Structure 1
Amino acid sequence: MKGIVLAAITVTTWVLGIRHFGGMQSLEVVVFDWMMRSRPDSGVDDRLLVVEINEVDIAQLQQWPPSDRVLAQLLQQLQQHQPQAIGLDLVRDRPNPPGYEELVAQLQQPNVIAVTSIGNINQRDRVAAPPSIPETQVGFNDLPIDPDGRVRRNLMFASNDETTLTSFSLQLALIYLGNQGIYEQLTEANEYQLGQKVFAKLQKNSGGYQAIDSRGYQILLNYRTSGSIARKISITQVLQGDFEPEWVRDKIVLIGATAPTLKDLFFTPYSAAEHGKQMPGVLVHAHMTSQIISAVLEEQPLLWFWSEWGEYLWILAWATGGVIVVFYIQHPLALGGSIIALLGVLIGMSYGLFTQAGWVPVATPALAFMLATTAGILNKVQLSWQQQQMVMKLLGQQTSPEIANALWNSRDRLVQSGMLPAQTLTATILFSDLKNFSTLAEKKLPEELMAWLNPYLSAMTEEVLNHNGIVNKFTGDGIMAVFGVPVARTTPEEIAQDAQNAVNCALVMGACLQQFNQKWQQQGLPEVGMRIGIFTGSVTVGSLGGKHRLEYGVIGDSVNVASRLESCEKKRQPDLCRILIARETLEYLQEDFQVESWGELILKGRANPVEVYRVIRRNS
């Protein structure tokens, strides 16, 4: 468990480092956009009306920007139907005659809001003419743009050392709310409040953000709908009176350009799903106005965030989950399915919180989770490799692929405290020895003898492995091989297969020796015979020795019997490779081999006779 915690903390620290330097922000806002688009659509806000200036209007006006008189007539026509507020999202920092005085008169109406730009914050008197327009009727229409070019924030106030400006959308909302007796104030924590609704200030690291310009007083823009935010009519329709008075009465009317050629367009969270389509600025301001009013009057929640420490714990929890799932789930398919399922849980929980106006990191904990699972899998692979090397080292010899696979599948049971625990099982033991080897050894130098012996031992070892046995030890020219270890064989069929493998291996070893003899005779060396003893019975296997030397031990009376079968009746060598077995092995051979009975023999060191048979060949 300590390792799990350490791994989770390490991954979390690394991911938080990436996040701190803004490395995750681009992914987080992409997920934010997806969740924004996937929410239930709230539809049109019927408290708003948008008077758009489209390409057809520009063609009919035959000039851009429209003259002061055209705008004065537009405002006058709208005022006749008693809107609560009118916002003119067109910068009029200089006269555009004719009709300048007419426009000034309309702009001075208390429910009209004109716009300025933050770039002119020290020259507000140039926003709209004449300068006598009250400050409370001027709002900036600049929009905060994220690093990826999208509008996700609502800048409510902007200021320098001397001046504070209110946004265009907030000015419109204040008129509407003021008509209902709702006014602005500051809380004790210096947060902005309208009525009972507190607008918590967006920080540079709120939600998925980590590196944004958070100057001024900002909140996250909670878009109302992917479609049209409000009913739209054209400036031409208004000038011609081609609209219903109810569309204007008691509404907030926003006037602005939607014509693409005027380039008052912005990317939003919906652009990715609309082939890069941009939203006109006047519609973005409409979303902002609607958000403020809905939050105050309808108790629509503003987007909220966890504290920085809350996000740290959230990310750490998912990193820990990634390590735990790898630690406890062993099967690859189950592990893969669990990883996918948990990522689905992360996305589902995050989306569920988002539907309740909570924006929590998604990409960052997902990365932490995936890195933790990857690290866990790599650690498991490395640990498995180390365990495998340990098992093979403890075993003392290479094994066949079949045995290695069985051994590895049982590694948790076999490996305890760096040793193979002792276990008693039924196995077949094979001893082989070369006849006349001592005579040959006397005539060769040790170096020559080693060069002669190694190819022979290598070939015999390969045959043992091919028959699913292990070579337990070499005794000079002698070999001790075991069939049925280290994983216990539990059924009679399995034990019989081990016995048959041992006898088949002995026959192949004899054929292999014949090939070596032909080669040695060409080198002027004498012919060498082989004796093999095979016995099937109970043995105890496990690690023998201490920390300085360990070997895979196979002990028991069955080992002694196999060794005595190899060495008994040495003068009786009817063929090149003499293979002797006892009845205990013959019972498992199922008449697959032709044998010759040698009767009951007293083997060295044993009081009771053993029924001995010589294997001649395998029955075809």
Structure 2
Amino acid sequence: MSGKWLQVFKNKRADLKEIIACAIANAIVILAILLLKQAGGLQTLELIAFDIMVRLRNDLEPDPRLLIVGITEEDIVAFNRWPLSDEVIAQLLDRLSQLQPQAIGLDIYRDIPYEPGHQSLIQQLDNPKIITIKALGDAEVQGTLAPPTAPPSRVGFNDLLLDPDGVVRRNLMLATIEDEPFYSFSMRLALRYWQKQGIEPTNSPLHPDGIRWGAAEFLPLDRTSGGYQTIDDQGYQILLDYRSRKSVARVVSVSEVLYGNIPSSWVEDKIVLIGTIAPSGKDLFLTPYSPSRRISPKMPGVLIHAQMVSQLLDVVAGERSLFVFWPPWAEFVWAIAWGVVGIMVVVVVRHPLVWIFCPPLMLGVLWMGGFYLFLNSVWVPMVTPSLTLLFTSVIVIIYLGFRAQRQQQVVMGLLGQNASPEIAKALWNSRDRLMTNGKLPGEKLVATMLFTDIRNFSTISEQIPPEQLIEWLNEYLATLTQCVHSHRGIINKFMGDGIMAAFGVPIARTTEAEIAQDAYAAVACALEMGDRLIELNKLWQSQNLPVIEMRVGIFTGPLVAGSLGSRDRLEYGLLGDSVNIASRLESCEKDRQSEPCRILIAYQTLVYLPDVFEVESWGLIPLKGKQQLIDVYRILGWQSPPQP
């Protein structure tokens, strides 16, 4: 038993090395992709994937709690100056205040007077509902309130965070400079809105850095959240969840407010944001929607602030969820899992045509799963698992393709030249079942063997020059080969002037009907050989070449089929008593022949051929090397028309 297991181990060792090499290659690829992600090399692609998903989802309806008063190009022309004077801004604030808004956010710098009307503007800015802006990022105006008389509780910074590609995807809610906290413009507006309803943010009891505000649990964004790896995560940031690509809320112009007759319901109890939307104002930024907009790809800053305010209002009210992110270890598992999926699917499918469609199909499943999570406010990396899936599946496809090519060479080397195209194709389609470590394993099956030989070949060969003998013999053997292939058999060996053919190998037959079909094919093949021999003899006679007679022996029974030899030199072997009996039938009573092609079969073959062929019983005959007598029959011809 130990010797058997040793042989099994030796047979498995070569393929095991290839499998280990493939596994190591996949592990190295996955590790390289994960390290590339960790170093930030995939961040740009992950952000592009994020933008694509943002554009794919449906927009929400304009926020009814907001009104945007935009300074348009028409307003600049109408008032004939830029920036608009303090008087115009004061009149605008006075008009809006009369309509009882919840809060007014002034996204306009007024750190210096723009006469006329500066004193009027100062008076209007005393309104506790008005929130003004400052800049944290500009050294010249950092810490400068706008205007100087505005209290800190009514001032928010309007700095927008830009990702490395210049796109606004984050909202900086809070910042700390020299231990002094600062609130963002959107945060101030949302705070005032919810304070009127008694909803204040508090420290989260669940997370040390968390904020509990209404229905929302805020957690700060860090440098590894989602597809990020290299961003500056200082301050209290959240991922900006855009409401709409078109209009986050109703937009009116300054002229419409001052000289039009807008309904009071548009302003009453609303948050009003005032800012520049005119392209000449250059307060424009790239957003995830920018790649899909050929005209005016950038979004005005006041609209982005409105997106932020709308998100804060929604999440506190429980109408939208904040984006959540998996920890780094979970993202690694996510990427590795898809790499394993890529390997497993390719291994299971094992069909070259399907391999072409497998990677794209699996990518589609991956992206649908990731997009589903995205729609449920979970942002997971998409590019990283896509790369692991693609590279691992491609590596396995290359490995399996190489292995399949090697197996095909083995199979075709064993059988391809001596088998019909149909048999060769069937062998190749069944290679997974047939091939073990580059060999065809021994398998017990029932088949029909056919042996042929030329009568008195030695005498004939002495009459023909060697070079002419080879051509003459090749013509004869080629004819026999065509007969075998046309009846779906294989030629196992050329034995000088004869052949050894088999019907029913190497794919084992599972039913009696299949075995009978093989027996029928073998006898039909032998009869066709006889007909073709008559034609060849006529041709050879006209060419002054010898005419010949041949013998055929056919037997149906169990045998063992498999490859013999080493990995460097293999041949397909058929072993068993059935092979020997067929060979003995061919040589049985050599002088007892009255036709060009004598065909002898045993009873074991005849039982599969009821009422098909006309036979002559030769009775029980002792065959050379056999102790038991064999019931022998000679095939005379067709008893019924041959099957098509």
Question: Fold match, TM over 0.5?
Answer: yes
The change in CA–CA distance for 1:28 and 1:442 in structure 2 (over 3 A counts) is same
Deviation for aligned residue 1:305: 0.7
The answer to whether the Cα contact below 8 Å between 2:136 and 2:142 also exists between their aligned partners in 1 is no
Residue of 471, 486, 494 corresponding to 2:506: 486
Looking at structure 2, the residues matched to 292 and 594 of structure 1 have their Cα atoms a distance apart, in angstroms, of 95
Aligned 8 A contact 1:81 1:249 in 2: yes
8 Å CA contact 1:599, 1:613 repeated in 2? no
| 2:563–2:571 contact (8 Å) kept in structure 1 | yes
Cross-structure match for 1:156:
173
After superposition, the Cα gap between the structure-2 partners of 1:56 and 1:578, relative to the gap in structure 1 and judged at 3 Å, is: same
The 8 Å contact of residues 87 and 117 in structure 2, kept in 1 or not, is answered as: yes
Residue 293 (structure 1) shift: 4.2
Q: In the TM superposition, what are the counterparts of 1:34-113 in structure 2 within 5 Å? A: 35-36=53-54, 43-92=61-110, 94-107=112-125, 109-113=127-131
Q: 1:527 aligns with which of 521, 543, 546?
A: 546
% of aligned pairs identical? 46
Do the aligned partners of residues 89 and 61 (structure 1) sit closer, same or farther apart at CA in structure 2, a change above 3 Å counting? same
CA separation in 2, counterparts of 1:610 and 1:152?
A: 90
Question: Do structure 1's residue 205 and structure 2's residue 224 form an aligned pair?
Answer: yes
Aligned letter for 1:220?
Answer: L
User: Contact between 1:74 and 1:239, CA under 8 Å: does it hold in 2?
Assistant: yes
Q: Equivalent of 2:441, from 420, 430, 433?
A: 420
* Partner residue in 1 for 2:6: none
* 1:233 paired residue number: 252
Paired residue secondary structure (2:629): coil
Q: Is the 8 A contact 1:414 1:421 kept in 2?
A: no
| 1:432 paired residue number | 452
Query: Paired residue for 2:634, among 589, 613, 617?
Result: 613
Task: Tell me how far 1:230 sits from its aligned partner.
Answer: 3.3
Match among 125, 132, 137 for residue 114 of structure 1: 132
Q: Are the structure 2 counterparts of residues 507 and 23 from structure 1 closer, same or farther at C-alpha, using a change threshold of 3 Å?
A: farther
Distance in 1 between residues matched to 2:49 and 2:168, nearest whole Å: 15
Question: Does the Cα contact within 8 Å between 2:520 and 2:608 map onto a contact in 1?
Answer: yes
The answer (yes or no) to whether the contact 1:496–1:588 under 8 Å persists in 2 is yes
- Displacement of 1:207: 0.8
Aligned residue type for 2:301? G
Displacement of 1:220 after TM fit? 0.6
User: 1:409-488 to 2 correspondence within 5 Å?
Assistant: 410-411=430-431, 413-415=433-435, 418-425=439-446, 427-439=447-459, 453=473, 456-488=476-508
Number of the residue aligned with 2:189 = 172
Q: Of residues 121, 127, 141 in structure 1, which corresponds to 2:158?
A: 141
Is the partner of 1:566 in helix, strand or coil?
Answer: helix
Q: Which runs of 5+ in 2 are unaligned?
A: 1-15
Deviation of 1:296 (Å): 4.4
How far apart, CA to CA, are the structure 1 residues paired with 2:403 and 2:171? 52
Q: Distance in 2 between matches of 1:67 and 1:120?
A: 23
Which digits, 9 at most, give the CA deviation of each residue in 1:213-233, with x for residues without a partner? 545543211223456433433
Q: Secondary structure of the residue that 1:497 maps to in structure 2?
A: helix
1:75 deviates by: 2.0
Q: State the match for 2:303 in structure 1.
A: 283
The code of the aligned residue for 1:65 comes to P
> Which runs of structure 2 are paired with 1:137-536 in the superposition (5 Å)?
137-146=154-163, 150-157=167-174, 166-176=183-193, 180=198, 182=200, 191=209, 193=211, 199-212=218-231, 214=233, 217-225=236-244, 228-240=247-259, 242-245=261-264, 247-260=266-279, 262-270=281-289, 278-296=298-316, 298=318, 301-328=321-348, 346-347=366-367, 349-391=369-411, 398-408=418-428, 410-411=430-431, 413-415=433-435, 418-425=439-446, 427-439=447-459, 453=473, 456-510=476-530, 527=546, 529-536=548-555
TM-score by length of 2: 0.78
Where do 5+ consecutive residues of structure 1 fail to align?
A: none
Question: Do the aligned residues in 2 keep the contact of 1:91 with 1:127 (CA within 8 Å)?
Answer: no
> How far is the alpha carbon of 1:65 from its aligned partner?
2.3
Amino acid across the alignment from 1:88: L
Give the distance between the partners of 1:408 and 1:350, measured in 2 at CA: 39
Tell me if structure 2 keeps the 8 A contact 1:150–1:267: yes
TM-score (norm 1): 0.80
506-515 vs 358-367, which deviates more?
A: 506-515
Give distance in 1, aligned partners of 2:280 and 2:498.
95
Distance 1:600 1:292, change over 3 A: closer
Secondary structure of the residue aligned to 2:132 is strand
- The Cα RMSD (Å) is 4.6
* Structure 2 CA distance for partners of 1:554 and 1:298, relative to 1, 3 Å: closer
> Residue 43 of structure 1 contacts residue 227 of structure 1 at CA under 8 Å; is this kept in 2?
no
50 and 595 in structure 1: CA distance in 2 versus 1, 3 angstrom threshold: same
Give, in whole Å, the separation in 2 of the partners of 1:609 and 1:543: 27
